[in-house]
Structure 1
Amino acid sequence: MSIIRTEQHWLPKSIDALLTLLAWTGFLYLIGNGAVPFIKQLIVNPDNVQGLFNSAFMPLIQQLSSYLLDGALLGGTLLLWAKYNQLRASRLLRRERIPNLSDKGLSASFFVTLEDLNILHHRQVLILHNTEQGDLGWIEDPMMLRPKVRVLKPDSKLRLV
């Protein structure tokens, strides 16, 4: 079984990379904002560990624990929502296995001849063109020097070139 993969456009990739970079920057800022004052005060005054712990380290622990609590609440909410949908959908028989189609059934389903279906099965690289309605309009074989355009629908205005 082959999987069709399409290359993602550069713009969504760039936006994704930028948002990831911003998220990591924000995370490091929040961690640094809480940890750096504690470390600086500990270096300057190593004898007053208890006072530093209460004044600088406890706010950091409170901030991190609030992040963990928020994450746990969001995760629990998503888990409950998923379980609710799983229970609700278990009554429905939406995902029954459909029977396998024969070559004749496939050709009728996609409005192609058996000869064209054979080409679709055995060629590794083909260019498929769709009509405005979304149906398969014609097949182009790019491996040929002068590609033949093969008409698949009898009512189409395209002819064999």
Structure 2
Amino acid sequence: MIITTQRSSIAQAIDATLTALGWIGFFYLFTKGVASIIDGTYDSPRIAILDPFLPTATTLAAYLLVAAFNALLLVLWARYRKLFFKDLRRVRAPAPIDDASVAQHFRLSCNQLREIQDSRVTVIYHAPDGAIAHLETDQLRMQRADDDKAYVAVKVA
């Protein structure tokens, strides 16, 4: 499976049981159909025109019945999940993040963050450890991220 989620042991047991029953039913119908074709015995009245198509039609009818039953189970399961677990589906808006926490996360001052937000172009240089080492904005000044008191006049377009 591509996506795996943790399930309760009861749900896993139900899933395994239904899957096993499905495979058992499939093999039973398959072997019964193959055996009846080999023996040439059918448990239905003979109609000369339909004789070649009767095993196929019976098998298709059984498959359609199983598919309809599976669809019914799926719809009932979806209704159950929708009814009892509607609180889990509710999309919650993320908590608003203020500028102070963003600046603290990136180890910037509030003034540096405001300058980055106001600029149209920002070039960020990183130190080898991944921290912000240097900032260049389209404003008339350039400042170091680790020392917000040092300003150098540079025009960056």
How would you bin the TM-score normalised by the shorter chain? 0.3 to 0.5
More helix by share: 1
Give the structure-2-normalised TM-score: 0.36
Higher gyration radius (CA): 2
Give the structure-1-normalised TM-score: 0.35
